[in-house]
Amino acid sequence: MANKNLNQAKNAKKDEFYTQLVDIENELRHYKEHFKGKTVLCNCDDPRVSNFFHYFSYNFEQLGLKKLITTCYKNQNRDLFSQNDSEQAIWLEYYGDRNGNRVPDPEEIGIHYFKGDGDFRSQECIELLKEADIVVTNPPFSLFREYVAQLMKNEKKFVIVGHQNAIHYKEIFPLIKENRLWLGYGFKGGAAHFISKYEDTATAGDHREGMIRVSGVTWFTNLEIQKRHEDLILYKLYNEEEYPKYDNFDAINI
Ligand SMILES: C[S@@+](CC[C@H](N)C(=O)[O-])C[C@H]1O[C@@H](n2cnc3c(N)ncnc32)[C@H](O)[C@@H]1O
């Protein structure tokens, strides 16, 4: 059922669901050493609703960030659950707390207006991407391939949310194989509750008001994490019968 939710969302290009702060905290606690002196970009994030913006602005000093850039997409379709209904897409820059209260105040946040709609593929957004060291967000699932391709082309470090189905995409699997991308720690139980108004088909026990449960979501990254260096306990030997090759791909499933 939860997978059905995702497919429905993907087919209808329903990309409006928002990551919970607790899930961002749980993943990013494993990456803290990477952020010192770095410029972070969240480029699919309306700062009014994005917990990525919240996380990095409130933890700016603790992480030792240099700069936080957040870009907001002006949604063209008002029917979707979106707060992105401002007339113009905006982007924010934040250089940390200035008045000593350890809180990102409005007057400390620089607000700029895009000429275009804030699409991550637009030239204006690509200029900001070039400035960034690490990109962290939950991008639209319907544009995941393009999103990753752009990060790779610009040689950026990243921590992003995606669906595990993406592992099989012909654009993504080679990156895993070549050690250019790997999975992060992931969500508890391999499923996440996102803040959303879409109809949730989760069973009663899993239902949370105002949320949609999506199974099979995970984090993708190219930052070094401890998990990558844990030994894999192997206990079987390869044999052709148990591990047949795919018809269309020179690989086995283990
Ligand atoms: C899955 S939601 C996640 C939102 C936010 N990053 C979060 O985690 O709470 C994906 C977001 O990407 C935005 N989006 C869709 N197409 C986009 C595009 N072409 N460029 C930038 N953002 C886009 C959507 O409006 C949506 O808010």
Show the tokens assigned to 235.
Answer: 């206990």
pLDDT mean over 85-89: 65
pLDDT digits (tens, 9 = 90+) for 1-15: 455 555 554 545 667
Residue 204, pLDDT score: 66
- Show the ligand 1 pocket: residues with CB < 6 angstroms: 15-19, 44-45, 50-52, 73, 75, 82, 84, 118-120, 137-140, 143
Task: Look over the chain and give the mean of its residue pLDDT values, rounded to a whole number.
Answer: 88
Q: Is 198 strand, coil or helix?
A: coil
Q: pLDDT by residue (tens digit) across 24-83? A: 999 999 999 999 999 999 999 988 889 999 999 999 999 999 999 999 998 654 444 445
What average pLDDT does range 78-96 have in this prediction?
Answer: 69
In a domain, 40, yes or no: yes
What number of H helices and E strands is found in the chain? 7, 10
Q: Please give the residue range of the domain that contains residue 178.
A: 19-186
pLDDT at 13: 61
123 DSSP 8-state letter: H
Give the relative orientation of helices 21-28 and 51-58 as an angle to the nearest 10 degrees. 50
pLDDT score of 202 more than 70: no
**Probe residue for ligand 1, chosen from 10, 13, 14, 15 as the CB with the greatest number of ligand atoms within 8 Å:** 15
Taking CA atoms only, the protein residue closest to ligand 1 atom 10 is: 140
Count: domains in the chain: 1
| 192 within domain boundaries | no
Q: Is residue 200 one of the residues assigned to a domain?
A: no
Total-model pTM: 0.89
In a domain, 141, yes or no: yes
Question: Does the structure show a pLDDT above 90 at 177?
Answer: yes
